[in-house]
Amino acid sequence: MDIHHLVKMANDIANFFKSEPDHQVALDGVAGHIRRFWDPRMRRAIIKWVDDDNGEGLQPLALEALKTYREKLMPQPVTE
Amino acid sequence: MYSVKELDAGTPARVSAKQVTLFIDGVSVTVPDGTSVMRAAMDVGVKVPKLCATDMMESFGSCRLCLVEIEGRKGYPASCTTLVETGMKVRTQSTKLAKLRRGVMELYISDHPLDCLTCPANGNCELQEMAGVVGLREVRYGYEGANHLSSAKDESNPYFTFDPTKCIVCSRCVRACEEVQGTFALTVDGRGFASVIAAGPTDFLKSECVSCGACVQACPTSTLMEKSIIDAGQPDHSEVTTCAYCGVGCSFRAEMKGSEVVRMVPDKDGKANHGHSCVKGRFAWGYATHPDRIRTPMIRKKITDPWQEVSWDEAINYAASEFKRIQQKYGRGAVGGITSSRCTNEETYLVQKLVRAAFGNNNVDTCARVCHSPTGYGLKTTLGESAGTQDFDSVDQADVMMVIGASPTDGHPVFASHMKRRLREGAKLIVVDPRTIGLVRQPHVEADYHLQLRPGTNVAVINSLAHVVVTEGLLKEDFVRARCEVKEFEKWKAFVSEPRNSPEAMEPITGVPAQQIRGAARLYASVPNAAIYYGLGVTEHSQGSTMVIGIANLAMATGNIGREGVGVNPLRGQNNVQGSCDMGSFPHELPGYRHISDAATRSLFEGDWKVKLDPEPGLRIPNMFDASLDGSFLGLYVQGEDVAQSDPDTQHVTAALSALECLVVQDIFLNETAKFAHVFLPGSSFLEKDGTFTNAERRISRVRKVMPALAGMSDWEVTMALSNAFGYPMHYNHPSEIMDEIARLTPTFHGVTYEKIDQLGSIQWPCNEGAPEGTPVMHVQEFVRGKGRFVITEYIPTDERTNSQYPLLLTTGRILSQYNVGAQTRRTANLMWHDEDKLEIHPHDAEQRGIKDGDWVGIRSRAGETVLRAVITERIQPGVVYTTFHHPFSGANVVTTDNSDWATNCPEYKVTAVQVTRVMQPSTWQKSFNEFDQQQRSLLPAHEKAKV
């Protein structure tokens, strides 16, 4: 997956939730949205980006959400 | 003229709490107050002779054929214009009445050609019928006097003729154009004997006429007559079905001779259209039998190979084996499918079932991704259900309509006529649109406010409207506190109250004068009933979902939800957008909008489908394209969609399609996507299959098969065969069995059966134990989610910005005569109105660039470049240009970018920064498009090539 596209998508999501006054609600919102709507390969790719490249390009709320909820967002290993 | 099967009650039905009892020819009848004597007579089976009266419009009283006698009254009043009164005693037949009626008919016939045997209306002519009814035996005046029998016939319209020699000047056509359609294109020109019907000072084609056909339907003679009837003769049977064009979902009688459609007549009993139609639904159905239809399955290894015609079995087995091979090599998630809003509920249900149950993943999506997916997200978040809140008839109770980002006269013309009728009755209109859409100024309709915002600033406008409502004390706090989550409301209230959201602060961003915003907000919030109608100008933005949420916030804040006349109403672009979404076409949702991660819902489907389901959401359409280019998604089954033309950033899409190892396209034509396919499965048109469509008001209507599937299989049968070949058994004998399964598994559809739809005509979901006959208006007692939820909607400018290189904003849309990618309407005579897409540009911008009307202009964006002809118009504001996307060669989506809605990835079609310059030749993309198109046509079997 094009990581720059995924980074932009994550940032767009964070931009929506950052106006939420309660920071925890905003974090939950970003992570929850990605968990509910992103295919596992997309989640795997963005988490790898956070792990390997420190999430370069991600805006702070998106990065914090991905780090905070890393385990919940990481898909289970695929069993074929 | 009506279908031969329909009864015409003469005048419209009335609704009144007061009932009136009278006597017609000695028989007692009780009818609502306000009913005409003519209609009351019809209630007891007495057909009063008539010519100028018809129940689609108000009575006129000109023909004098419907005269009756009323005890205690002098003279012979017209029964169409005389209203019932308690105790009234009416005689419809007497010697005197018979004489009077014969006298009237003598006058009519003295100036009418006596060519009944060769007349196209023969056997279905009201004048002919009335001559028989009144017992006309002679015409004492003779036929030699002054007459209109040498008047010239107007054949300019591609679908109907106007033959003034047959005209009796009953004005039904004029009144239909005014009352039913609301266009006011026709008039009675001249006075007395010189009176003639005219479409202005020109012919029908060049006139203001929108070819809706209401006049043709209203005409009691063959003066206005369908060319198809002139060619084929009168139909011998009919079947009620549902239009396959826009989200209004008009009900039609397909009138047939054998298995050939000869006329489509809008059904008076149709609850979405009440007997009206537009040029597409009534006339543009010829595509169904167009020579371009491909009727034999085809396969090929590579897209540079010639197509090989094969049997259905061979094509389906080849597709299944390829998908299995891809999954074995690249993993279970390497294949998926796209459902279509042009297909039936049953078909889309089967495709998503195929993907989830047979492919074993959730890589299924639908074209709603690129139109109304933000509606699903926004309305589910705030109200709890991914659907519009009202039925269309609700507009009759609206005091204010706010139309945002939609052009109903182009995209939803039959509902536009309904809206215009209400506006002529006095409702107020607020239009929020960058363009001067048709509704802004029409005969007898003028918007009270046109908030002509800059493209991409919807959320700024909705926030400033909310700011006025909150800060000027226009909130319905009682409603909010009783019906909504108060804590979230308080947060939202504080947010919109901030001065930065005021109309004055937002004016530099939106371009809308603050006083207009204030006036519009006051108007919307101050009337008893205000309704919002919106379209893709709301959803197809980077903040599409945010705007839908903002609309729902505003409606809740003003208490405009949960009764007739109000609500939040998405105008769905295609006929079955609502249905395809309902059916579980989104990768994260099972049918009925239940998330795939929900174990209880999954378990329900697993039990019924006898298969384990993947709990992870799948890829959305744009994600599929990215994954294809990434090498992790290589097999795609596309039913009835044309992503290569309709989806944004064409070059990205076609690169992704080219990277697929197996693309299976099921369509009625070799569309742009099919040119990248390895398997082509011939599709069936709406006339060739049974099923249901669900329109924008959640109305489930039957699609009925009126002719055999041209390629031998209906679409649902093809998906079933594909699943069986893949190894997952599917067995249905009829689409009704698929609907039974949908109803079994979907709470909002629990009460839906084909039998019930046949009985009620149509059903609006939810239809279940709580609402056995359906639900016209939602959220009446409480919101589907319990309490309504306000959500903060911060305005965030799109990343798509103008600069010195790309100084203009391009926005896209559609036109009345064409539909979506044009695959259907381009193969009809509708081309006469729109044979190419053009670029609309403001005179100021054109002058700056030395562009004259009709010049070729290059439109260049960060994504690509295309060339169109320019149309200079003040419909759009300076700094903005506009085009449609109905023709593939136009390449409108070569220019649009991959920017998308933050929540749903719905593309931002409505905002693309571009530069426009005069050019002398097509773009590089257009040249390569033509070469590829020629190559692909050359790869067709010889007999198909001969056709094109």
- Give the number of C-alpha atoms closer than 13 A to the C-alpha of residue B156, restricted to the C-beta side: 12
The answer to whether A48 contacts chain B (CB < 8 Å) is no
Question: Two tokens at B718?
Answer: 């093809």
Can you tell me the mean pLDDT for B414-437?
97
Residues of A with CB below 8 A from B612's CB? none
The answer to whether A54 contacts chain B (CB < 8 Å) is no
Residues of B with CB below 8 A from A18's CB? 794
Q: A32 to chain B, minimum CA–CA distance in Å?
A: 11
B697 pLDDT above the threshold of 90: yes
Confidence at residue B948, expressed as pLDDT on a 0 to 100 scale: 58
The answer to whether A37 contacts chain B (CB < 8 Å) is yes
Residues of A with CB below 8 A from B491's CB? 21
Calpha distance B821→B812 (Å, rounded): 12
A12–B617 C-beta distance less than 8 A: no
Number of helices (H), then strands (E), in chain A? 5, 0
Confidence at residue B7, expressed as pLDDT on a 0 to 100 scale: 87
- Our CA angle for B640, B159, B6, nearest 5°, is 85
Calpha distance B223→B848 (Å, rounded): 50
Can you tell me the mean pLDDT for B725-752?
97
- Our CA angle for B86, B87, B90, nearest 5°, is 110
Confidence at residue A1, expressed as pLDDT on a 0 to 100 scale: 85
The answer to whether A74 contacts chain B (CB < 8 Å) is no
B619 pLDDT above the threshold of 70: yes
Can you tell me the mean pLDDT for B247-261?
96
Nearest residue to B663 via CA among B336, B932, B352, B330: B336
Within a 10 A sphere around the Cβ of A63, how many other Cβ atoms? 21
Percent of chain B with pLDDT over 70: 99
Confidence of residue B4 (pLDDT cuts 50, 70, 90): low
A16–B903 C-beta distance less than 8 A: yes
User: What amino acid is encoded at B119 in this protein?
Assistant: C
- How big is chain B by its Cα radius of gyration, in Å? 29
B795 pLDDT above the threshold of 70: yes
Cα torsion B661, B662, B668, B674 to 10°: value is 10
Tell me the pLDDT tens digit for each residue of B640-672.
999 999 999 999 999 999 999 999 999 999 999
Q: A43 to chain B, minimum CA–CA distance in Å?
A: 11
| SS3 of residue B370 by DSSP | helix
Residues of A with CB below 8 A from B792's CB? 19-20
Residues of B with CB below 8 A from A39's CB? 333, 363, 587, 616-620, 623, 627
Beta strand B251-257 with B260-266 is antiparallel
A12–B542 C-beta distance less than 8 A: yes
Using CA coordinates, name the residue in chain A closest to B549.
Answer: A16
The answer to whether A72 contacts chain B (CB < 8 Å) is no
Confidence of residue B142 (pLDDT cuts 50, 70, 90): confident
Confidence at residue B573, expressed as pLDDT on a 0 to 100 scale: 86
Can you tell me the mean pLDDT for B797-802?
95
| SS3 of residue A21 by DSSP | coil
Using CA coordinates, name the residue in chain A closest to B496.
Answer: A19
Residue of B380, B616, B790 best to disrupt the A interface, most CBs of A under 10 A: B616
- Mean of per-residue pLDDT scores for chain B: 96
Residues of A with CB below 8 A from B799's CB? 8
B626–A39 C-beta distance less than 8 A: no
B3 pLDDT above the threshold of 60: no
Q: A70 to chain B, minimum CA–CA distance in Å?
A: 16
Confidence at residue B318, expressed as pLDDT on a 0 to 100 scale: 98
Is it true that the peptide bond before B235 is cis, omega within 30 degrees of 0? no
Query: How distant, in Å, are the alpha carbons of A28, B104, B694 from that of B596?
Result: 19, 70, 23
B495–A78 C-beta distance less than 8 A: no
Residues of A with CB below 8 A from B497's CB? none
Calpha distance B333→B361 (Å, rounded): 6
Confidence at residue B944, expressed as pLDDT on a 0 to 100 scale: 84
Tell me the pLDDT tens digit for each residue of B211-252.
999 999 999 999 999 999 999 999 999 999 999 999 999 999
B542–A78 C-beta distance less than 8 A: no
B717 pLDDT above the threshold of 70: yes
The answer to whether A44 contacts chain B (CB < 8 Å) is no
Q: Which residue has the tokens 């299976």?
A: B664
Q: How many CB pairs under 8 A join A and B?
A: 68
Tell me the pLDDT tens digit for each residue of B887-936.
999 999 999 998 999 999 999 999 999 999 999 999 999 999 999 999 99
Confidence at residue B761, expressed as pLDDT on a 0 to 100 scale: 97
Calpha distance B129→B110 (Å, rounded): 16
Residues near B10 by beta carbon (within 8 Å), at least 6 away in sequence: B36, B38, B39, B42, B48, B50, B53, B54, B55, B59, B66, B79, B80
B616–A40 C-beta distance less than 8 A: yes
Calpha distance B326→B322 (Å, rounded): 6
Confidence at residue B489, expressed as pLDDT on a 0 to 100 scale: 98
Q: Which residue has the tokens 């963005």?
A: A46
Residues near B129 by beta carbon (within 8 Å), at least 6 away in sequence: none
Confidence at residue B6, expressed as pLDDT on a 0 to 100 scale: 74
Can you tell me the mean pLDDT for B186-193?
94
B499 pLDDT above the threshold of 90: yes
Residues near B727 by beta carbon (within 8 Å), at least 6 away in sequence: B320, B324, B358
Q: Which residue has the higher pLDDT, A8 or B4?
A: A8
Calpha distance B632→B628 (Å, rounded): 6
Nearest residue to B480 via CA among B561, B556, B568: B556
Confidence of residue A42 (pLDDT cuts 50, 70, 90): very high
Residue of B626, B790, B798, B905 best to disrupt the A interface, most CBs of A under 10 A: B626
Percent of chain B with pLDDT over 90: 97
Burial of B769 (0-12, 13-18, 19+ CB in 10 A): exposed
The answer to whether A49 contacts chain B (CB < 8 Å) is no
A80 pLDDT above the threshold of 80: no
Q: B548 to chain A, minimum CA–CA distance in Å?
A: 13
Confidence at residue B363, expressed as pLDDT on a 0 to 100 scale: 98
